[in-house]
Structure formats: structure tokens, C-alpha cells
Chain A
């Protein structure tokens, strides 16, 4: 029976032009979305390279200036931009702290349109004033991006619904179900076989069109074969979930239109409503403290600090005698006071800032638990993680940058308090930022769990719909 089913189903799908139509739609969708993702990655790489080249050029200029100064020549730049001063190096010659795209970055935009991919931390300024948000049009952020993850999470289920909502009901409606009922096969077996075949063909088409689009856009998926496999696994598991729902609806609900409505209702629930309700809940449960009030707090603190800068510097040097150990001149200028009070501001503001991080982490942890409510969220999260564009990835980057800013500062402050000049020899010792991507947790677990859930749904269909009575199915409309 299975082989008959297979043969006729394929004939049916080919003659009704379903397979042809699906292949074209899938190729178009995957092609357009992969193209968009690829464009973003190319732009990101180009931006980072340009920034690094600029730093290189500036460094050349800096070395020339240093060379001239060390040889005792006159230089033609303003007094306060001569790079012998460590603060000039720290402020005018910052390093690029960049977050390079990864092999799978193009599959999901995630948070990458909100956050910037490179910053240049300076010695002055506050860590939290480092602006990590990108200069994107908010309209663009509002609408989101047509990326591969949108196609997978939003559109694929709809294709499945359109592909399978009337598997049983159309037979009923065309009257061929009576014929089928005379065959020695259970309804569940028959429906599941039909759906399985559709699942099989759709999977085949998806894998083929994925490979094809990757090939066209020159994405070297074979070099990241493991990631590619886990992408395919998660797509298939997600598809299977929707096929399982289609199976249940086909068995339990009546005619084609009702089936379609039920399935679409489920789609709206899982893809649109559940995420927005959960988001609302997470922001209500773990509200972010007000940023405007934070500004107030910071301002008051700074106002206080600026009034007693001299005292702060004295205390600071008493606490950190190591900074001024080789200083014979005892010259104290603006920067000496500034850096000391900056340190104080940083310490005092630290609890406020960690407050934000903690809230975000709590929201994130909550989401990690509740994402299982809707497979759409689960899959989106997994794709974001694979792409290295999830909230966690950007937090990881931020932390590294803040650490690097501290390294940068603590490399240069001893020069300042020792009143020591920065020289050509010190150049090679300048700290460099090396981006470490967040270690990836395997997304196969997610696919596995989705697979189990889908299988359970199929199981429920098999066990509970035993009561689907033949006569009910055969009753005329």
C-alpha cells in the first residue's frame, strides 16, 4: 500500500504542479533572503576592514610624528595632539574592537541591525557612554529584515499549511474517500503516509534549494558542514512539527476551509501572539530600570565629583602608589585629575550598570525557559545563535570591549602618572583587541527536542483518533 501511495501521491503532486510551484517559490524565497543576508555580511566586513585600514594609516602618521619628536625636530601639529603624550595615544589613536561575522552569520539578522560591530574605546569617556547601537533607520528596525530565518520561521509553516490542510478533506469532498475506505488501511496510517510523503518531498526541495542558493552566492557551506547540518536538522524538525499539527487537524477537524482556519489559527498563535505576549510578560516581570533616571543619577554623581577633583586625585594616588612610582617631576595636570575622578565615577556607577546587565540576563534566562512554548521562538533563537547574532552574542562582545577598554586604559595610565613620554619603542606593546566568538552550544539538542514533540503529537493522533469513526468520515456533506 505504501508504494502505491508513494507512486500516486507523486503523480498527483506533479500533475497539480505543486512540486514545480513549490520549487520555484522556495528558490525565490531562499535566494532573495540569502542574498540580503550575504549583502549585510559583505558590508559589515568592508566596514571593519576600512576602519582597520584607517587605524593603520593613522599609526603610520603617529610613528612619523614620534620619530620627528624623538629626533628633536619641530612638528606641525597642535601641541595637544603630539603623540608623545599617552593621553593623545589613548584618545586620538584608539584601536578597533571589531566583531567579525561568522560563517553562518548571513542566515539571521537577529540583533545585528541594532548593534554596531566595531567600536574604538578611548581612555577618556565612560564605558557605558560607549555607544553600542548602530546608526540604523528605526523604520528598518521596526519592519525587520527579509532574512533566511524569516523565511524559515514565518513562511515555511504557511507553505506547509497550504500544502497539507486538505489532505483528508479533499478526498472526502471529491468522494474518493469512500473508495479508499474499502481498502484495508487505517485512516491514520493513510493520512500519515500521505503527509510523510509530502514532508519527504518538501524536505528534499528545501535541501536542494538551500544547497543551490548557497552555491550561487558562493557560501562555503561545506567548510562549515557541521553548522550546515544543524541548520538542516532544525529546519526539518520545525517542519515536522507543523506537519504533526496538520496531521491532527486533518484527523479531527472537518472540511477543508475549517482545517485551513484551524491551522492558520495555530500559526497566528505560535508565530505572532505567543512571542509578543511573552515579550510583554518578560519586560513586565523584569523591567529595565529607567535610562533617563540613570542619566540623572550619573549627572549628580559627576557634579559632585567635579567639585572635589583635587582631593580625589590625592586619594587616588595614595591608593595607587604604583602609578606614580617613577615620577620625579610631580607635575599634575588636567588629565591626572580627570583620570582619577573617572575611576571613581566608574566605581560608583558600577552597581547601576550591572543592574541593567542583570535585568537583561534575567529576561534572557526567562526566555530560555519559555521559548519552548512556541517552536517559532525556539527556532528563531537557535538560528540567531547559529548566526552569532543573538542578544547573548552581543552581550559577549560588549563585555570583551569593556575589558579591552580597561586594558587600554591601564596600559596608558602608568605613562600618565609617571609623566613618561610615549615612544616609538612602546608602539609594539600597544594592546590589540582579539574578538572571541561566544562558544556555540550545539543546536542539535533543540532539533532533537522539537523532533520528540512532533513525534508525540503524531502519537497523540494515532492513539486518540482511534475513535474517528468510519461512518463519520463517510457521511455525505
Chain B
């Protein structure tokens, strides 16, 4: 029964001209989108490499200079692009890709691509994730909306019922017929993506296991849609109604809920504005130790403590340059302030994420989107991770510079200049993204929501007692 239904349905789908055309269009569009993304990926990676080496050269060739001047002069950390961003661009477009690392100050990533584009960009891009997340479910709806309603409309339902069919087997046959083309299409697309990725020069950290996980996530997403569409088709009176209901679900899941979620998340856990944030940081900074201000209360206290610790009566007798020492202490204090404020921001981000997870009950799109971005290293968490790594590097750089200043000069000697090859000793900034296993363990909530949708949608199918 299962096999017969499957063969009959598959034949029907294959013979249907509209479905053939739709499938061809979808495949073509996905192909184009992968090609465009691959071009962009290579382009951006090249720029990344050029900028990184150029920036390092600028740093290395500073010549003789005071280490603190060099600290103010600063350097840049550039965010690399990861191979799987070819499949899912995630939030990359909206998050900046370069962070300026300077003394006393933690900077935000600058220059997001979206800010350099017109309002049209907000409709979305022709990228593989757009095709996989939005258009493929539409194709599934097109393939399956009339699975059961057509039996009624063609009058075959009565015939089938008189045969005494088992509903379960019949449903499963239909399910398999719907699943197979979708599955084959997805397999082929992911294989092509994997093939392109492993053939790109310097493909970095590309791993087939990540791609496999992504494939599993998307297949689950499609199965959820297949189950729901079949359920709707079994319950609807007419094909037209089944189609409209399926589509309403699609709109709700893919467009309306994510947008509503973003509004709700912002309303309940708002971010400060950029200026507010800066003002708050400044307020805290004023109250603490300022490395440049030897007359403040905190500076005097530090002076007293250090003198007592080293058992000397004058700053000149210290074995290091106290100016640089105070600078470093100020730096540490400032880093703490930034840590506090960014932690607050991160808190808001985590709370917002919880809102999204809760609202994922209404939309299988949300957990899929978040999982896909996380695996591709294009999600917001990766961006945070990168920003934190850059900040740690900034703090380490400041220590490196201040320590040299403290060690090699004496108190009051602001004219000290470090050697011209001193700069080369600073280790380069390296950032490696989180491992797949960590990503998965951090996203168990999303995985379980997706799992619930998966099981729930199958349960719906199994509980179909009667087909109209």
C-alpha cells in the first residue's frame, strides 16, 4: 500500500508541468545564489587578507616611538569570514567587520554592509539561506497542498475508502512521495555546496561534519513543513482552502512571528542607544583611576600603596617607571568598566535570545534560523565571541606596551622611545571560532524546540483519524 501510493504520487508529481517548472526555477535560483555568494566570499576573504597584512605592516613599521603613543595609535582587528557563511550569511551583513583597538577605549565593530546599502537591502538578499529557509518551504507547499484534497475533488476518495485502506499506510505513502524529491534536492544542493567549499583555495576551517549538521537541521525543517502541509491537506475541504491555510502558516512562521519577536524582544529588553552607552561608560570612568591624571584621589592612593609596597619614599626610587605603571592600572580599571557595561549589553542579548526561543513555539523557522547561523558561524553569538577576543587582545596589547614603558624608562621620562623592532614582538591577533560541539551544546534549547516541532508534527499526522 505504501509503495503503491508512493509510486503513484511520485509519478503524478513528476508529470505535473507546474511542479517541474517551479522546481527548475528554485534549483536555478539556488544555483545563482550559491554562485554569487561564492564570489562574494572569495572577494571578502581576499580583502581580509590584504587588510590584515597591511595593518600589521603599519604596526610593525612604526619606527622609534613612545609605547603609549603607539597604544593611542592603535591597531585593527578584522573579522574573518567562515566557509559555511556561503550557505548562511546570517547577521554578517548587519554586524561590522572591523574593530579599532586603542588605549583606554573599547570600540564597537564598525562598518556594517547594510549601512552602506539602500532600503532595498531590507527586503533580503538572493542568498542560499533565503532560498533554503523561505522558498523551499513554499515549494513543499506547492508539492503537497492537494495531496488529500485532490482525492476528494477527483472523486477517488470514495473509491479508496471502499477498498478499506489503512489510513496510516496511505498517509505514509503520500509522505514518502513528498519527502523524496525534497530530500534528493537538499542532498544535491548540500553536496554541491560542500564540493565548492572544499575546492575553494584556503578554505580555512571548513568541516564536512558542520555541513552535515546543517543538512540535518534543514531536513528536519522541511520534514516539519511536509507533516504540517499533509495535515492541513487532510483536514481541508478543498484544495484552494488547503493552499491558503498552508500559506498563512508559512507567512506566520517565516515572516510575521520573527518580526513580531524582534519587536517584542526589543520592547522587553531594550539596548541603550550608542550615545547613552558612551555616556554611561564615561560616567563610570570619571569616578575611577585615570591613567593620564596623576592628581586624582585614586592616583594618589595608588601612589601611596606602591611606595609602601616597595618600601621607598619617592617615586623616582622605584625600579620601574611609575607613570607607565599607573597607566597600566588605569587601563585595567577602564577595561573593567567596559567589561561591566558590555556584560550588561550581553545580558540583554541573552534575554532577547530567550524571547526568541520562547516564541519559537509558534514558528519552526526561528530555531532553524538560529541553528543554521550558529553552525555557519554567522550568528550574533559568534560576533560577541569575536568582539570579546578582540577586547582581550586589546588588553594584552596595552599590558605589553605599558610593561615595556615601565621597565625601560624612569619616572617622569615621557620622552622614552621604544626600538623600531620592538613592535614586531607583539603577537598577532588570532581568532578561531567555537568548535562545532560547543556550538551544538550552547544551542540545546534551539535543538530541543526544533525536536519538539518535529515530534509534534508527526504526532499530528498520526492522529489523523478521518480524511474528509
Interface residues of A (CB under 8 A from B): 32, 36, 39, 43, 47, 50-51, 54, 78-79, 110-111, 114-120, 131-146, 150, 154-155, 158, 161-162, 165-166, 169, 255-257, 259-261, 264, 268, 272-273, 275-280, 282-284, 288, 290-293, 295-296, 299-300, 303, 306, 356, 359-360, 363-364, 367, 376-377, 380-381, 384, 390-391
* Cβ contacts under 8 Å, B149 to chain A: 257
* Cβ contacts under 8 Å, B120 to chain A: 275, 278-279, 282, 367, 377
Do A280 and B243 have beta carbons less than 8 Å apart?
no
* Cβ contacts under 8 Å, B247 to chain A: 158, 264
| Contact string against A for B residues 268-291, beta-carbon threshold 8 Å, 1 for contact and 0 otherwise | 001111111101000000000010
Do A158 and B47 have beta carbons less than 8 Å apart?
no
- How near does chain B come to A250, taking the closest CB pair, in angstroms? 12
Asked if A292 meets B255 with Cβ closer than 8 Å, knowing A279-B117, A364-B118, the reply is no
Main secondary structure of the interface of B (DSSP, over half): helix
* Cβ contacts under 8 Å, B238 to chain A: 256-257
Do B275 and A110 have beta carbons less than 8 Å apart?
no
Tell me whether B36 is interfacial, beta carbon within 8 Å.
Answer: yes
Do A135 and B272 have beta carbons less than 8 Å apart?
yes
- How near does chain B come to A270, taking the closest CB pair, in angstroms? 11
Do A137 and B271 have beta carbons less than 8 Å apart?
yes
Do B259 and A145 have beta carbons less than 8 Å apart?
yes
Do A141 and B130 have beta carbons less than 8 Å apart?
no
Do A36 and B97 have beta carbons less than 8 Å apart?
no
Do A276 and B130 have beta carbons less than 8 Å apart?
yes
Smallest CB-CB A-B distances: 5 pairs: A275-B123, A256-B240, A257-B239, A138-B94, A138-B91
- How near does chain B come to A47, taking the closest CB pair, in angstroms? 5
In the assembled complex, 23 residue pairs joining A and B whose CB atoms fall closer than 8 Å, in A order, are A47-B275, A78-B293, A116-B275, A120-B275, A138-B112, A138-B383, A139-B353, A139-B380, A142-B94, A257-B240, A264-B243, A275-B123, A275-B124, A282-B118, A288-B116, A292-B50, A296-B50, A296-B51, A299-B54, A359-B116, A360-B116, A367-B118, A380-B119
Tell me whether B315 is interfacial, beta carbon within 8 Å.
Answer: no
Do A144 and B262 have beta carbons less than 8 Å apart?
yes
Do A118 and B262 have beta carbons less than 8 Å apart?
no
Interface residue tally for chain B (C-beta within 8 Å): 88
* Cβ contacts under 8 Å, A143 to chain B: 258-259, 261-262
Provide the bound-state CA to CA distance between A115 and B275, in Å: 12
Instruction: Given contacts A135-B274, A146-B260, A279-B125, list 14 more A-B pairs with CB under 8 A.
Output: A47-B276, A139-B265, A139-B352, A140-B265, A143-B261, A145-B259, A145-B262, A158-B251, A165-B244, A257-B239, A257-B240, A268-B135, A293-B51, A295-B76
Do B114 and A141 have beta carbons less than 8 Å apart?
yes
- How near does chain B come to A213, taking the closest CB pair, in angstroms? 16
* Cβ contacts under 8 Å, B274 to chain A: 116, 131, 133-135
| Residue in contact with A295 in the complex, picked from B51, B119, B145, CB distance below 8 Å | B51
Do A155 and B122 have beta carbons less than 8 Å apart?
no
* Cβ contacts under 8 Å, A391 to chain B: 118-119
Tell me whether B111 is interfacial, beta carbon within 8 Å.
Answer: yes
Tell me whether B187 is interfacial, beta carbon within 8 Å.
Answer: no
- How near does chain A come to B174, taking the closest CB pair, in angstroms? 17
Provide the bound-state CA to CA distance between A450 and B149, in Å: 37
Provide the bound-state CA to CA distance between A192 and B27, in Å: 37
Query: Nearest CB to that of B49 among chain A residues?
Result: A292
* Cβ contacts under 8 Å, A390 to chain B: 119
